[in-house]
Structure formats: structure tokens, C-alpha cells
Amino acid sequence: MKHTLAVLVENKPGVLTHISGLISRRAFNIESIAAGYTEEPDTTRITIVVEGDEIEQEQVVNQLSKLVDVIKISDLTAVESIQRELALIKVKASVNTRSDIINIVEIFRASIVDVNRETMVIELSGDETKIDALCQVLEDDHGIIEIVRTGKIALSRGPIPAKDQ
């Protein structure tokens, strides 16, 4: 099972390396990891998706909570949350296929962010399955040249911030 953890940490150099090193040394697989600043300038939020059962997830949380720079850990797997990824997808696009690609992009509520004579770059945010579905359609019909995806980011629903949960 995949577990999505929101980890609030002090905004210091090396904290992300420390956290990812701790998880990988324990032989846990990091599915994705994304870090960014928060509403507080001295706090960074790291969203980590790890694969494992409940016991393994609990071990990850216990190990992370021992780190000095960790402020708070929230498991967003079991609570209502909003989870998104971002993808940029470069596809082959001739003059004859552009209108078809535009139609596909509109269906998925994506955006075209770059066009040249031979390619188009599409931007899509959404859950993992939505991005996978668009990639499959584009690959089958047009051919994907290159893809880059962010790790998952997530927020719990409701008025209570992660630091107060």
C-alpha cells in the first residue's frame, strides 16, 4: 500500500538529504518526494509517498520523528486530502496532428505551453491516474518524446493546518 506523509521540517540546508537518506538506509522505497516552502518562511513541507504495509509506514514515521529538524508528521493516507502531481509531456506534433492533440488536451483540461514545427509540450496537473491516462492516449496516438513529472503534493481538507493536527 502507498502511504502519503506530510512532513514539516525546519528550513535548513541538508534536511531533505537527511530525511531521504534515513528512509533509504532502512530499505524503504520512496515512490515520490517533493519539497517546498510553506506559509512560514522558516518551515519546509516535504510530501513523501512510501510503499509498504502499516508496520513499515509506522517505522518510517517513528524514525523520521527522531530527527531534530522534523516539526510534525501527518499521514494523509487515511484522511480526506487533496493530492496532485504536475506533468510536462512533449509529444510529436505535425501540422496534420495538432488539432487532434488540442482536442485531447481539452478533454483532460490540460494546457499547451509550447509549440514548434515538430512538437508540442502539454502541462497537466491532477491525480496520478489522470496523468497516466493522458500519457497513454498521447503515446498510442502521437508518440511521446519526453515526460517529466513532479512528486505528489498533498493537503488535508478542512480548516486545520498540518502543524496543528
Q: In what order do the strands lie in the sheet with 29-37?
A: 29-37, 43-51, 2-10, 70-75
Output the pLDDT for position 1: 82
Residues in CB range of 102: below 8 A, 6 or more apart: 112
Output the pLDDT for position 137: 96
The phi and psi torsions of 38 (rounded to 5 degrees) equal -120, -170
Q: Where in the chain is the domain with CATH 3.30.70.260?
A: 2-79
Output the pLDDT for position 7: 93
Q: What is the mean pLDDT of each run of 10 residues along the chain (165 residues)?
A: 90 90 82 91 92 83 88 88 95 94 96 96 96 96 94 87 73
**Coil, helix or strand for 118?**
coil
Report whether 152 contacts 32 (CB < 8 A). yes
Name the superfamily (CATH) of residues 2-79. Answer: ACT domain (3.30.70.260)
Name the superfamily (CATH) of residues 83-149. Answer: ACT-like. Chain A, domain 2 (3.30.70.1150)
Output the pLDDT for position 2: 86
Q: How far apart are CA 132 and CA 14, in angstroms?
A: 32
Bridge partners, 124 (sequence order): 87
Report whether 10 contacts 44 (CB < 8 A). yes
Output the pLDDT for position 42: 92
Report whether 44 contacts 36 (CB < 8 A). yes
Q: Where in the chain is the domain with CATH 3.30.70.1150?
A: 83-149
